[in-house]
Structure 1
Amino acid sequence: MAMHYLVEKGTEYAKLAVELDKKGEYEKAVKYYKAAIDLFSKYLSLYPDNSLADFYKDLIAKYKLRVEILEKYMEKSSLPASGPGDRSADEVEVLMPDKRSNKKKFDDLVDLEDVKKALKRAVIYPVKTPHLYPLGWPKGILLFGPPGCGKTEISIALANEINAALINVSPATIMSKWLGEAEKNVAKVFNKAREIASGGTPVIIFIDEVDGLFQEFSDEVGGEKRMRNQFLMEMDGLKEKENSRLPVFVIGATNKPWKLDIGFIRRFEKRIYVPPPDREVRKALFKYYIDKLAVVYKLEDIDFDKLAEMTEGYSSADIASIVKEVQNNIAEELNEKGDGKDNSVERKIRMDDFIQVINKRKPSISPKMIEAYKIWQDQHGAL
């Protein structure tokens, strides 16, 4: 049985099930949900390593749950739980500037100066002085680089710099559990962004792990293709005359830029490399986090240069985790001894505390990985 037949027929049955579910024809809906589950299950058994396998596994689980709910309803004549017609699922979650707990701005982030400069040129200056840009400004920005190096953090800081509303998009929020509605979800996100921006508030649509939505699928089927086409159409629409002056920006973050579809890459006019921390930045990061520990603990002979030297290939997140692990180890030691209740802590943090943790952790970034990013940057980078 051909792969495309399994998925397309399964999608057809799933859509029919959803429509019947909405109309209250639950017995028929259950029949078609089960047919869709059967076809998607056969698809997974034949192609377990397919790039969309996790999506269809999740879909099957949710359809099975819906079948269970409907069957109980038909048995007991009780009201069914929320299903595809549930209005709350249609809402687009927006984090307005005054509602965000993370208030960090660029000055609060250690390093990434080249990235900050590129984002100032692409986003901050156009928002502050739109009259200086009669030809418009970039609407799409791609941040790429190794995991744990600050792509998400700097995107939030950017939103705080311009007091922007932040709409966080993920594969889960776009690929609806009710198959066939993904393109509608995309339209809702952009409609909401334009609505907010029309009132004068800048909007950042942030897509983390963007490769999960827009990688090159050799086995792409109808539903995914429609969703991707809708997204590309919406991004193109931001450049059209009626929307060209609206402060709406799409920022995508990825650890795997080489997996992105070329048509999607081209929609991002700015493609910015977010590098791992170099030696001086690693030293600054250790100082930043250890200074926070120094509020509680005394420090003894901390060699920041040596710490930076020992952590070649470690990401910013790795360094934060190292310092936190040192804190946890010492807190555990004090609690075991019964000394943790006293606010006057005598236990000093020593260099050996860090060396022990570092020796147990491997760097998350390899030279081979860095070379791959440099090659992609040479081919597609656009500051």
Structure 2
Amino acid sequence: MRKLHLFFALSLGLFFVILGLSGGVLVFRAELQQAALPQVKLSVLELDNDAQLLPGPDQLFARLKTEFPDARLRSLKLPQRLMDPYLMTVSYQEQGKTRLEQFLVDPLGGKVGRQADFTSPSEAWIYELHSSLFLATPGTFLVGAIGTGLLVLLLLGLGIWGQGLVAAGPEQAKAWLMMSGRARGKGRLALLHRVLGFYFSPLLLLLVASGVLLVFREDILAPFETTRHELHHSETAGENAGHHQSTTEDISTKNCVGVPDIEDYLYQAEQVFPTGVATFIRFPRSKEQPVNVTLRQPGEVPSPLGLSRVLLEMNCGTVVGQQNGLALDWSQTLIERTVALHNGSYWGPAGRLLYAFAGFLPLFFMVTGVLFWRRRKNQTGREVTKIAQS
């Protein structure tokens, strides 16, 4: 078992370090992306006086259309914080061709900037390294294969620890669970490797296993996924986060007054889930398809935009389907929890900090493991020399 553990450690140790360090940084991926966005500075006094006068998404899109008159709104990501920009994805004509591009729109003055000008190169670089080792699709599968090997490495390490504990017996069990103040030098590092490896192995197993599941999602998780198209055929809106009963028929039978604008769609969606906050809206290619509004409700599995969705008829804004993020079926919950467990968001800010620390553990285990291995190798060499001399 020790030889197998050594083989996997020497073969995959460097990859473990690379994936660990890059993953530890990506725990703060949202903050890295946020830091690259243009920020609007507004004094507290101005905010108190003008908060109700800030332009809404319809006015801001009208501002964008002054620069791109034929622009058609395809999706809108709402600000996560009060003064963050709106992210609008629009299609427009340029030199006879239809282009699809993302724009950041200042929520105060309507200033328009291309999203491509406000990306975080460091975040993109680290993500590519972590997800594919810069090898695109083949690299993604390579990362999955490495992750599978790392699972074996971690399990072998636990097996070696268990063998040592059994061999030590009850009297020496404490030495396998706690640090000894008498250990010095390389011996102390070896002891740290053993003790910390035991206590942090569940966390490392969780991180590696969830990563492998995400890489091989199509083969492992996809068979359990509920098709998203079922949402279009919903006839009733179930119990929402506030335990209010609301049906699609109740909302959709309201009179259609004029053509709804962006805020009308958002308002209708938030009536279905009163405790939810709209985060994203997607517009269809044709008027026969529904407008899709994404919301985040308190208590949902953490995700970038939320898991609740409302579908609205495009011409009237009436509700034609919904998905309650608090009442997902088990397959959807499995997938969303796997994502949240891997990126650290499942445990909140404290969990993300713990994950960031865990990103440095592979480096620690590689260094201490090499030192431990060399120490044992030197001891073995000395013993062989003594035997030969005798």
| Fold in common (TM above 0.5) | no
- The structure number with the bigger radius of gyration is 2
Greater relative CO (CA pairs within 8 A, separation 6+)? 2
Normalising by structure 2, report the TM-score. Answer: 0.20
More strand by share: 2
